Chain A
Amino acid sequence: MRLSRRSWFFLGMSVTCVVLLAPTPEKYRWVNLSMAALSLMWFVAFAVEEILARRGEGRPRAGRSDR
């Protein structure tokens, strides 16, 4: 699956937040978790958008003549 660099950028940030969970004091782990969730949400949103756009490009558009 080929995704844009922006999608991978957000996935990378999500992974970084999760990796940092271990050294983060328990009191502040909600910061890592909320940021990991937020960046994962953006990764999924971009990935879905890109996959749908690619599928759309492959199909002929309805209601449009070739004139």
Chain B
Amino acid sequence: MTVTIALIVLVALSFDFFNGFHDAASSIATVVSTRVLTPRQAVAWAAFFNFAAFLIFGTKVANTISNVVHPGTLTNAGIFAALVGAILWDIVTWILGLPTSSSHALVGGLAGAAVATAGWKTLVASEYQKIFVFIVLSPIVGILLAFTFMTGVFWLFHRYRKVEKLNRGFRRGQLFSAAAFSLGHGGNDAQKTMGVILALLIANGLLAKGSDVPLWVVLSAHAAIALGTLLGGWRIVHTMGSKITKLQPVGGMCAESAAATAIWGVTLAGIPVSTTHTIAGAIVGVGTTQRLSAVRWGVAGRVVWAWVLTIPGAFIMAWIAYLPFKGLVR
């Protein structure tokens, strides 16, 4: 039993690692595409702030994730299958270079495994409703805040003639915005893994219902996502940073600040959102300050399709994964 739990915790941390590897690329994409940092410097910067996030955010998102399925209905095999389904989806989309959301892959995976274990009634509709609403809202918030920030910056500095000096300032500013975004990313995404481990510990009677996330879970989840970020996913950096729209340091700074504002807000409210959705929306928002045709809608559309398919894709993978595991994992 203890070996099984340890193994599943290890798989959960591997998911967190892949989350860093897959999603965190989006947190460095803008800073790399504007050449403020080299790719190596950017991943080190992002990884540090992914880890440091545990000092700022609580564990509200972890509690939401641990409550998407009625407590006690997910078995060890179910949790294992959910993680396998989400990891498989992440690997497939990483190979295809699609910036889908690991968070939604996990939500889809948990749903698939829960339905395979005990049917549709195990899903907590109100939690899924909240998650689905914010799937749509988070990119919209990213677009609007980025557009507003960018327009505000234009209004403030349009008479300023020392362009070089201004650009240097924005490049420095982007270091801070990238740090804020990485903090938000670490805060929201690492907590999803914490939520899975929390559900596992409660399901096995190692923690009482309603317990707080233990410190070792918090630290190991943040360490895993930071390590994943450090090893980076370069294909997605390219899609996010240059294919959606061309970015200047000012645009990168505004996109990251907008996405960071949105993610900090939802993390403090305990809502699991996709950091990839939010930053992609923010990049589109920056692009629309020029004109709509500055955004490559074909690429943005491909990204949207990947998002739409994530929950059903991970659901099916976890559902299929549960079948062999239900006899093997106890």
Contacts and interface: CB of A to CB of B under 8 A. Distances in A.
Contacts, number: 48
A67 interface: no
A32 B130 CA distance: 12
A62 to B, nearest CB: 25
Contact of B130 (A28, A35, A39, A42): A28
Interface stretch (B67-75, B76-84, B99-107, B139-147): B139-147
Nearest to B284: A9
B271 A13 contact: no
Interface in B117-152: 126, 129-130, 132-134, 136-137, 140-141, 143-144, 147-148
Contacts of A5: 292
A32 to B, nearest CB: 7
Interface string B208-224: 00000000000000000
B269 A28 contact: yes
Interface in B12-64: none
B291 interface: yes
A31 to B, nearest CB: 6
B288 interface: yes
A16 B136 contact: yes
Interface string A1-34: 0001110010001001100100111011001100
Contacts of A24: 130, 133, 137
B292 A25 contact: no
Nearest to A27: B269
Contact of A16 (B126, B140, B269): B140
A48 interface: no
Interface centre among B133, B141, B271, B292 (most CB of A within 10 A): B133
Nearest to B126: A25
Interface residues of A, number: 19
A6 B144 contact: no
Given A16-B140, A17-B140, A38 B133 contact: no
A13 B144 contact: yes
Interface string A45-65: 000000000000000000000
A13 B130 contact: no
Contacts of B147: 42
A38 B144 contact: yes
B143 to A, nearest CB: 7
A28 B265 CA distance: 11
Interface of B: 126, 129-130, 132-134, 136-137, 140-141, 143-144, 147-148, 265, 269, 271, 288, 291-292
5 contacts: A23-B129, A24-B133, A25-B129, A25-B133, A38-B148
Interface of A: 4-6, 9, 13, 16-17, 20, 23-25, 27-28, 31-32, 35, 38-39, 42
Going nearest first, the 9 A-B pairs with the smallest beta carbon separation are: A24-B133, A5-B292, A38-B144, A6-B292, A23-B133, A13-B140, A25-B130, A39-B144, A35-B144
